[in-house]
Structure 1
Amino acid sequence: MDKFVIRSNIGQSSSNSSSRPSVSSNIAPEIQRGTILSPPSNVDSVLELGSPNHDLKERILILQYAPNIRDEVRRHYIQKGACQPSGHAFPKTKFGNKMRQFNPDWFKGPYSQWLEYSIKSDAAFCLCCYLFKNVLESRGNAGDAFTKDGFKGWNKGTERLRTHVGEQSEKVKSDHRIRLNALVDVVRFLLRNGLSFRGHNESEDFEYKGLFLELLEFHGDKHLDVGKVILHKAPKNDMMICPAIQKDIVDACAKETIKAIIQDLNDDFFGILVDESKDISHKEQMALVKRYVNKREEVIERFLGIVHVNDTSALSSQKTIYDLLLDHSLSSSKLRGQGYDGASNMQGRINGLKSLILQDVPSAYCVHCFAHQLQLTLVALSKKHPDVNIFFDVVTNTLNTIGASFKCREILRQHQVEKLEELLKSGEILTGQ
């Protein structure tokens, strides 16, 4: 690592520092471009969009914002729209023997949604590239001409704008639509059946490439129109089978599912069922289920989300629940029921989650979870009746003994086979054939 690091001594004279070789700006440009901005209390204070000195060429790169506020910054720019000054006298620039200038009619054509113009720099910019271009995509049409430097070649303006967008024929658009629909169908099937997507090796020459690719290939074999535009028959930059795109489609399916659940609720009253448990990675997870009566007067229970919680206190759980409801545009004032287990942080009369929510919504009555009540009933019953207690002890010991040894499991299976044969011979049970 030492050969990649230039060490500096604190307190060294400026004369020595001036003789030290400087780091070339060509080395890791994305690292030297600036520090990551911390999340502000108000995005407007960082963007400073209302400042008269704000220039498109000088605005902060999206990747220099903190990752947790980038989407908010993008949303702010999208809501504001492209910077397209009207009534401005665009200056002329000499190209050869002719004077050229920015054509304001470009704002009204097919480039109206993304084309921007900087009065200070007399240059054109692309809003979409500024918001969504990856820092590594600095080749071809995704260079810095429309993002960092600005475009000033007015003599070839129409040609360059058309090249920047990229023309697509109707066939290319149709193939892309067929390909995307096939991917969505495969993802929906895997999600509905709770199946995994990825394989250990997804290379083309590998025999089994995972359920996602195998099912997509099967889908293409059964539907010729799909088979002509997917996998190796699709453009290399538009195959849409990478893990990131798979996750995007899964996320879109989840959002559409929750959207359908919210629409089915129809802004009516609802109840919540909440439980906390540790997952396999020993992280505390809170699951929330919404219970409501739909338009057909049917009682429906729908899983709304699962959230990782660092603190299991009642106050923290209340905030987590309210935030989750707010994320899905659900108001806590519509809450009319609560369902938890018997934990003290849930059922506490003073500072329990039940009591905190009742203080905000007095009509949100709490019902102790029936399954947990049954468990508590069995525990209390087994303590008072020795026979019941012995029964559960025997069942527990039997499961532990058999489950700990493969030999014991095999012996049990053999005894079951012999017992089954006796019952079949006596006619007490039927095979179903």
Structure 2
Amino acid sequence: MSKQTNLLNFLKRKEPEPATTTTDEEVMPESSTPAIEQNTFETQRTETEENEDLLSSLERDPGLRIPMWDYPYEKRDQIRRAYLKLKPYQPILKSFSFSGPDSHRRFRSSCNWKKVNDGNNCPFITHVGGSPWSAHNNSVRAKLDLLNDGGHIRHALIAQGEEQIKRNRLRLRTSIDVVRLLTLQSCPLRGHDESKTSENQGNFLEFRKAFARYNDEVSKAIENPDYNAKYVASSIQKEILQIISAKVRNHIREEIGESKFCIIVDEARDEARREQMAIVLRFVDKNGSIRERFLQLVRVNDTSATTLKRELCLVLKEHNLLVENIHGQGYDGASNMRGEWNGLQALFLADCPYAYYVHCFAHRLQLELVAASKEVSSVHQFFSNLNFIINTINSSPKRHDELQARKTDEIEDLLLSGQLETGRGANQIGTLKRAGDTRWASHLQSIHSLLNMFDATILVLERIMVDKSCTSNQRGDADVALNLMISYEFVFISHLMKELLGITDVLCQAL
């Protein structure tokens, strides 16, 4: 057999054989399996059967077999193992003469075994070598390692990778639970000092430690993080919050469905003096219940009607909410919101004829009450004096503590005399509440708090008046506040406004 013949045979074996088709005249043997059953059978073949098929398809002759580098990379170890599992093979070569410079040489198919076991002259012993690190011995160890598939490094890497993934997920799940808990309770996440030497690293890290103390697996995962996979960075916390908020908004979107909805918008400045626009959607869910859902807080450059509309439309578009489905608008009474020509309600009404604007009735009622109270000078003066008395007491923590101590003594005396009854939630010790400028309902709460602690407040003011440790201004303010409290006009108006505001408060709460 010539070298050219061997090469041709080798090239022919590399070419893919054309697929054979069965004509209608050809009859399938009785032992053949139908196509459908055969496909089902092939899907259930075991790994052992696949290896047996691989062994039977391998070319034993080294001169005819496909070179290893022609196989896909991921299949090479499998092919090597298959060859190693086969018994040693000696190709049957015909005797032929060499040509060229080696024409004096001849190849014989029979071998000479006389030199086998001839001591150190044995070619086998010479090939093996005396060193355990000879080429032959190294090849033997490599063969044994290759056959030991269970000890392959990939199995150790897979096991280690699965364990690492499990720890990472547990560590991340702990961070998610802490973020959800703190967010639900409206608590800050970060601390002023989150270094390892800090005694208080902030709510997020401290809650994480508390979780770890009650679970050994969580403790191990947190205390021994893989590389830098701690999941405690501020960017991770923000990303978790963004994912949670996105899920909440998606849930709100599913609740709305294709229903009509109303938009309720208000804007205000945060502590950084940046304008923020709060968006609330009001709709009827699938069960026929009215829902109001806070959707998003959007930062705006200014509060002009065109800017607010543009930002609103972007938010609605982001959640696939059609502007045409707006059937109501609820804003405050500012000109940029309720303007008849250029207000936000007018801009939306031009696009949506059913998006009727409604100024908050509770807000309108409170504005009317504020305006009406200012028309009566005695009532206006009463609320000014009320705030002055409350500020005189609450300006010092010491006075505030003394006020509550006086109230405690008063309750104990009334209980002993039988003028008060005990019960769960009864006889609570409150504090003085200042009336707010924008919430008229807070005026009623302020009056209630002073009347509830009227006697205790008088006792505190009397003590301040004779306390030498207080400044002259403080003693003077206490004197003025005491005279105002015990005046007939102040007491009369306080009870009068308590009755009037009690009536209007019911309407405010309903609205």
Give the alignment of 1:249-264 within 5 angstroms. Answer: 249-264=240-255
Work out which of the residue numbers 291, 296, 300 in structure 1 matches 2:282: 291
Query: Percent identity between the aligned chains?
Result: 38
Distance 1:342 1:263 in 2: 31
Decide whether aligned partners of structure 1 residues 290 and 426 sit closer, same or farther in structure 2, where only a CA change above 3 A counts. farther
338, 341, 352: which one pairs with 2:332? 341
2:185 counterpart residue number = 193
Once the two structures are superposed, what CA deviation does each residue of 1:238-257 show, in whole Å capped at 9, x if it has no partner? 11111111111111111111
Question: Which of the numbers 194, 200, 203 marks the counterpart of 1:208?
Answer: 200
**Could you say which residue in structure 1 is the equivalent of 2:311?**
320
Unpaired runs of at least 5, structure 1: 1-97, 107-161
Cα shift readout 1:31-75 (whole Å, capped 9, x = no counterpart): xxxxxxxxxxxxxxxxxxxxxxxxxxxxxxxxxxxxxxxxxxxxx
2:250 pairs with 1:227: no
1:132-187 Cα distance to aligned partner (Å, 9 max, x none): xxxxxxxxxxxxxxxxxxxxxxxxxxxxxx99xx9662222222222222221111
CA distance in 2, matches of 1:370, 1:400: 31
Give me the whole-angstrom Cα distance separating, in 2, the residues matched to 1:170 and 1:105.
21
2: CA distance, partners of 1:333 / 1:304: 18
Q: Does 1:277 align with 2:272?
A: no
Match of 2:492 in 1: none
Q: Which residue of 1 aligns with 2:342?
A: 351
Counterpart among 157, 163, 175 of residue 171 in structure 1 = 163
Q: Which of the numbers 289, 306, 313 marks the counterpart of 2:297?
A: 306
* TM-fit CA distance, 1:343: 0.8
Whether the 8 Å CA contact 2:164–2:226 is kept in 1: the answer is no
Distance 1:329 1:420, change over 3 A: same
Tell me how far apart the structure 2 counterparts of residues 179 and 411 of structure 1 sit (CA, whole Å).
48
The whole-number CA distance in structure 2 between the counterparts of 1:404 and 1:398 is 10
The alignment covers a number of residue pairs equal to 278
Distance apart, 1:340 and its partner CA:
0.8
Larger radius of gyration, structure 1 or 2? Answer: 2
Q: Which residue of 2 aligns with 1:241?
A: 232
SS at match of 1:254: helix
CA distance in 2 between partners of 1:413 and 1:172 (Å): 56
What amino acid is aligned across from residue 219 of structure 1 in structure 2? F
8 Å Cα contact 1:358/1:364 also seen in 2: yes
Q: In structure 2, what residue type is equivalent to 1:236?
A: Y
1:413 shift after superposition = 3.3
Aligned letter for 1:225?
Answer: E
Q: Is the 8 A contact 1:381 1:388 kept in 2?
A: no
Name whichever structure is richer in helix by fraction. Answer: 2
Contact 2:331-2:338 within 8 A present in 1 as well: yes
**How many angstroms does 1:359 deviate by?**
0.7
Change (3 A) 1:412 1:252: same
Deviation at 1:345, TM superposition (A): 1.0
3-state SS, counterpart of residue 279 of structure 2: strand
For residues 386 and 412 of structure 1, the distance between their equivalents in structure 2, rounded to whole angstroms, comes to 30
Counterpart in the other structure of 2:320: 329
Q: How does the TM-score come out when normalised to structure 1?
A: 0.58
SS in structure 2 at match of 1:169: helix
Letter of the structure 2 residue corresponding to residue 369 of structure 1: C
Distance change (3 Å), C-alpha of 1:284 and 1:406: same
Kindly state the Cα deviation for residue 391 of structure 1 after the two structures are TM-superposed: 3.4
Partner of 1:129: none
1:71-110 correspondence to structure 2 within 5 Å:
none
Letter in 2 for 1:373: R
Q: Does 1:267 align with 2:232?
A: no
One-letter amino acid of the counterpart of residue 218, structure 2 = V
Give CA deviations for 1:263-298 in whole Å, capped at 9, x if unaligned: 111232111111111211222211111111222222
How far apart, CA to CA, are the structure 2 residues paired with 1:274 and 1:242? 34
Q: Tell me the distance in 2 between the aligned counterparts of 1:428 and 1:344.
A: 54
Question: Are 1:340 and 1:369, in contact at CA under 8 Å, matched by a contact in 2?
Answer: yes
* TM-score, normalization by structure 2: 0.49
Q: Output the CA distance in 1 between the equivalents of 2:312 and 2:230.
A: 39
Give the aligned residue type for 1:172.
Q
Shift of 1:202: 2.3
Letter in 1 for 2:294: F
Give the drift of 1:400: 3.7
Deviation at 1:223, TM superposition (A): 2.3
Residue aligning to 2:392? 401
Contact 1:186–1:216 (CA under 8 A) maintained in structure 2: yes
Does residue 1:377 correspond to 2:354, yes or no? Answer: no
Amino acid at match of 2:239: D
SS in 1 for 2:273: coil
Is residue 425 of structure 1 aligned with residue 416 of structure 2?
yes
Q: Deviations over 1:345-376 (max 9, x none)?
A: 11111111111111111111111113311221
